Amino acid sequence: MAEDRHGTRGRIQAVALELFAEHGYDATSLREIAERLGVTKAALYYHFKSKEDIVRSLFDDYAREVDELIAWGRRQPATAATRRGLLDRYLDIVVRRSGIFRFLENNQAAMRNLESEGTKEVFRERMRALIDLTREPDAPLRERMRASLAFTAVHVGWLFFQDEPVSKDELRAVVYDIACDLATAPRDAQLSTS
């Protein structure tokens, strides 16, 4: 699960993310992280200046990756193909770094209390930028909500249905299909059909 890294610093990040996602940020103490690593708390403080600094370092990796995606999206023409490419690439990120997405989904309240400015807004701001790339900012509410749900569908679809007896490729395809449907301008709703 944890994307193992080289060096002690990377191992701390991997183990911390694992525990944060498993038991929650608040409920995970530095003692637990140190014990699973086979070192002491004080050793962690050599690599990170605080508990919050650890989570901040995890955010930075995530933010850099999504920022690149946003930059890519801004270079493309505003077509349906671009929107699908955006979702496709976003899905790649979620698949590859599912640990941090699971963590973010489950610890929103804990993240809101962080001291360092910027950290708490990292998630929300990137989401907003992605939605704006999928729909014009002044599009009607219904369209912006559907665009927002396209990304939510990527999170929920990939993370909640991990235990399904289907291959990861198939799961990914289903998620992609549903997300594209949401990101695509809707046909007239035919709600009265059975």
Partner DNA sequence: GTCTATAGACGGATAGAC
Partner DNA sequence: GTCTATCCGTCTATAGAC
Positions that interact with a copy of itself (CB under 8 A): 21, 23-27, 79-80, 84, 105-110, 112-113, 141-142, 145-146, 148-149, 152-153, 156-157, 160-161, 164, 166, 170-171, 174-175, 177-178, 180-181, 184, 186-187, 189-194
Distance of CA 130 to the CA centre of its chain: 12
Q: For residues 58 and 138, what is the distance between their CA atoms, to the nearest angstrom?
A: 33
Nearer residue to DNA within complex by CB, 13 or 134: 13
Q: Is the dihedral of CA 161, 65, 61, 124 positive or negative?
A: negative
Which of 1, 4, 31, 166 touches DNA by CB under 7 A? 31
With CA atoms as reference, report the closest residue to 126 among 183, 175, 86.
86
Q: For residues 181 and 194, what is the distance between their CA atoms, to the nearest angstrom?
A: 20
Size of the site for DNA (CB under 7 A): 21
With CB under 5 to 8 Å by kind, the binding choice for 109 among DNA, a copy of itself, none is a copy of itself
Q: How many CA atoms does the CB half-sphere of 16 hold within 13 Å?
A: 27
Using CB under 7 A as the criterion, which residues of the chain lie in contact with DNA when the complex forms? 7-8, 28-32, 34, 38-43, 45-47, 49-52
